[in-house]
Each structure stands twice: as C-alpha cells, then as structure tokens.
Amino acid sequence: MIQLSRFPIRTLKDAPKISDNKSTSYLLQAWYIRQEMAWVYNYLPLWLKVLKNIEQIVREEMNSIWAQELLLSSLWNKESWEKTGRWDTVDVLFKLEGSGNKEYALNPTHEEVVTPLMWEFIQSYKDLDSMAVYQFQTKFRNEARAKSWILRGREFIMKDLYSFHKNLEDLDIYFEEVRKAYVRVFDRLWIWQDTLYAFASGWAFSKYSYEFQTKLEIGEDNIYVCSDCWQAHNDEIVWEKFECVNCKSPKYEIIKTSEVGNIFKLWTKFSTAFGLNYLDEKNAKNEVVMWCYGIGISRLMWVIAEYMMDEKWLVWPESIAPASHYIIVIWEENLAKAIELAKDLEKSGKEVIIDDRFKTNFGQKAADADILWIPNRIIISPKTLELGWCELKWRLEQEGKIIKM
C-alpha cells in the first residue's frame, strides 16, 4: 500500500509539449519519468511499478516454458567480443577503458557471456533437454538513429532468452513454445490484437528472423502486410518488389509499427566461437544449436502507454497499472477506514494508493487520480460513509456508485 503523504510525487498541471510523442508528455506530467539526457531516462517510483508488473507477466510466461532466470554481467571482456569477431563489427558497441589500459565492452546483448557460461554445464546430449536461460538486463547501445528517441534508448531494459539444442528438430519444437508464450505475454498486456508477427532479415545468421510488431502511428518500422494472406514482412526483406514470402502475392499495404520483440536463429555461430559442443548417444562430438529471443521491456512500456492513451489521459491495462485502486480520503479521521479497506483489497491481490495528503485540496487529489490513471477510484468521506461506505468509480465508466463493503 502506498500512502501519498509519504511518497515522492509532483504532478504537473499541464502536459509539457514535446515532439510528436503524446504519451511521453503524459508520463512527464504524471511524474512517471524524467529525462536525464538525450536517450537516457530516470524511472520514478510509479513507473518502476509498471515496469515490475510487466516483468512479472513476462517472467511467469518464460517460467511456464521451463526457462530459468539468471542475471549476467553488463561489463564484459574484450577478448570474448574478439572471439566472435564482433568487437569491430557491432557499430553500437560501447567500449571503455579500465585500469591498466584494459578494454571492456558494455554489453548490448549477451551471447558472448552466456555461451562460454553454458560451456561448463553442457557436455552430453542428456544436458540438452530443453535448456534455456533468460534475464532482465540493462543493455547499452551507442545508437546513432535520432528518430523515435523515446522508444530507442542508449540504455534500455531487455528480456533476453537463450536456448540450447541438440539439433534443428528440437530447436523448432522449443521455438514454437516460445512463440506461443510471446503471444500470451502480449495478450496479457492488451496489445496482441494489434501486434503483427513479421518476417524480417536474419542478417548474418539465417534467411529470416521473426518480429513482434505493434501497430503505432509514431512507430519507426514499416511493415508490409500481404493483402491476400495477411502475412507481415519487415521492409528490410522487401527489396525492389514486394512478393509475399507465404503466398507470393504482389499486393500489400504498409502499416507503421514499433518492434516489441524478436526471435533470431543463431545456429552454431556462437557455439563454434566458444567451442560449445556435446557428445551424442554414439559419443560423437556435435555443435550445440542456439536461438535467442528478445523482448524490449522498456520500449514495450512506452508502446503500451502510447497505444492505450486517449485524448486526455494515459490509460493502463489493469494487469500493469501501478496500482489498481486510488483511495481519496477527505477527512483525516477517516484514514483508519481507508487503511482497513486497502488491507482488504490487498488480500485479494489488489494494489492500493491512499491519497492521505490532508494539506492538499480535493481538486488536486482528484486531478492526480486522473493524471496517474489508476483504474479504480474510491472516495471516502463522512458523506459516503453515511450513505453506505465509499464511492467507487471504474475509470472506463462515466458514473461512480456508492457501495457497501
């Protein structure tokens, strides 16, 4: 339970106007975020709650497919990045110098860390029955593109999952499990109905990779959707002329989106670099096959904010709102009642904010409930107590009602 009298929050009367990005204005107004410098943001307490709620949904779905959570380091040695040939080829790699003139990378992704780490564990085919690990990690990328600055950070949070397999058949089975888990994640976050599953370039790794792209006006990707079978394609793989990879149709429409997740086949690129092998049933040495699967957690937060907002406010899916209930207490003598109610709500898994700032007037409290956009608003006053208990209003409905609890 949060009691606002002891909580740092300073909302703004108006939403500051910045670029074309309305949700960011709302987030600044509501004291969810503050920008530290271009591409870098501070996450204030309520925004952190949203982040943790999203992470928890992703965590539950990753655990449901037997992936194990770990936390890999951000700082990594140059030698590993040289081993894979990426020290000089990854253009967004942040490089820094430590004591004794030693150079390090601030990891933009973690294949160079996770592959040698699994080397110690994976020895035989018996160690490879669905072996997958994942983390929530801050990634660092020296991004040059200036567009969509709010969606593209130089420091951002990603969920990255790596899976290790004996062969392509095993890999394909697990791929399908992850794909379905991703669908469940985006469904629980209320964006699946407008999220496309697109074919994209596999870059150095394979012919295609697969992306989850959410429809968004301010998104920086152009997705070509086949007019006949609705297969989506990232424009990277549409060269001179569009031809659907699924049904070969030449007809398409272009939709603006933002990429919230993707899946890359790494094959044996990293196993080869780090000698990640296993012994099969006949004691022959084979290379481990790897895939990686990302979800851009911090970008996803902004995509949800931008996708859900209306003309006036942010709107949160109840599954990730920083709290489910916002209780306004008008008189100090009713605070005990409010706390009692909050405790009851918490027993059924709800999260509650009590606005007990008694030096703040009602108008300001009601405005803050609106600006933060907490799904349910409750008012407790001598009048509501006299009528029943409190007034409850669900934000997606116009009228509140007096309820007995």
Which residues of the shown chain bind ligand ATP in the complex (CB under 6 A)? Answer: 109, 141, 143, 152-153, 156, 158, 259-262, 294, 296, 298-299
CB of 30 to ligand ATP, least distance (A): 21
Helices 22-29, 297-308: axis angle to 10 degrees equals 100
Least distance from ligand ATP to the Cβ atom of residue 51, Å: 13
Q: Residue 278 CB, nearest distance to ligand ATP (Å)?
A: 26
Containing H/E element for 336? helix 335-347
Q: DSSP code of 194?
A: G
Going by C-alpha positions, the residue among 267, 268, 66, 261 that lies closest to residue 177 is 66
For residue 197, the minimal CB distance to ligand ATP (Å) is: 13
Q: Which is nearer to ligand ATP, 298 or 324 (CB)?
A: 298
Q: Which is nearer to ligand ATP, 61 or 391 (CB)?
A: 61
Closer CB to ligand ATP, 153 or 317, in the complex: 153
Angle between helices 297-308 and 45-63 (to 10 degrees): 110
- Shortest Cβ distance from residue 260 to ligand ATP (Å)? 5
Q: What ranges in 93-189 are assigned the alpha helix state H?
A: 111-119, 168-188
Which CB atom, from 185 or from 329, has the smaller least distance to ligand ATP? 185
Per-residue burial over 20-38, b if 16 or more Cβ lie within 10 Å, else e, is ebbbbbbbbbbbbbeeeee
Nearer to ligand ATP, 223 or 276 (CB): 223
Give the 3-state secondary structure of residue 14. Answer: coil
CB 102 within 8 A of CB 57: no
Instruction: Find out whether 34 and 47 touch, Cβ atoms under 8 Å.
Output: no
Residue nearest to ligand ATP (CB): 296
Backbone dihedral region for residue 306 (phi beyond 0: left; psi -120 to 50: alpha; all else: beta): alpha
Nearest distance in Å: CB 290, ligand ATP? 14
Provide the token pair at 87.
């020290």
Q: How far is the CB of 61 from ligand ATP (least distance, A)?
A: 16
Residue 139 Cβ vs ligand ATP, minimum distance, rounded to whole Å = 7
Q: Which is nearer to ligand ATP, 260 or 315 (CB)?
A: 260
What are the tokens at 52?
A: 């943790």
- Residue 106 or 354: the one with the smaller Cβ distance to ligand ATP is 106
- Do residues 17 and 24 lie in contact, with contact meaning Cβ atoms separated by under 8 Å? no
Contacts of 177 (CB under 8 A, 6+ apart): 65
Strand 232-234 with 195-201, pairing? parallel
Going by the DSSP 8-state scheme, the letter that residue 291 receives in this structure is: E
The total number of residues written for the chain in this structure: 405
Nearer to ligand ATP, 298 or 376 (CB): 298
Q: How far is the CB of 212 from ligand ATP (least distance, A)?
A: 7
Pick 107 or 109: Cβ nearer ligand ATP: 109
Query: Partners of 213 in the beta sheet?
Result: 196, 259
